[in-house]
Amino acid sequence: MTALTTTEKGKHAELLAQTALLANGYTVLEPIAPESFDLAVRNPSTKETLYVQVKTAYLRGSDEDIRRYGDAYLVVRGAPASGKPYPPEDVDSFIAVWQGRVFMFPNEGLREYWVKASEAGERWEEIYYEI
């Protein structure tokens, strides 16, 4: 299998996020013009619309860290290439995709979000889906 480009990884994460959201009754919209958000989603229960930035999460922590502390950290970048965090008035929430799992959490205007990999489902809302 060949390695995916950054663009391909991003599209793959967006498609997994869309699948999870649709499986849970959300309405999912993609902007046709460039925006600071990747998706607009409407919660089926509250009818609230959120502007969401989808990110591929990655692990931070060496094998030594995992042996010593028992875990690595799941990390999501909260800023584009400019380094300036997405403002909460432009992006309400992030969706992190990691190993096929989909998590949603609020944008707090940080450059980076992290959680122990073993605690991701406890600290961030996991959006389950079946294919």
Q: Identify any residues that bridge with 50 across adjacent strands, giving them in sequence order.
A: 41
pLDDT at residue 69 in the model: 62
pLDDT exceeds cutoff 80 at 95: yes
The string of pLDDT tens digits covering residues 43-93 is 999 999 999 999 999 988 766 666 666 678 999 999 999 999 999 999 999
The answer to whether the beta carbons of residues 129 and 24 sit under 8 Å apart is yes
Structure tokens at 118: 């073993």
In our burial notation (b when 16+ CB lie closer than 10 A, e otherwise), range 30-39 reads eeeeeeebbb
Instruction: Tell which CATH architecture fits domain 6-126.
Output: 3-Layer(aba) Sandwich (3.40)
pLDDT at residue 130 in the model: 80
pLDDT at residue 113 in the model: 97
Question: What's the pTM value of the predicted model, to 2 decimals?
Answer: 0.90
Could you state, in order of their start, the residue ranges of all structural domains in the chain?
6-126
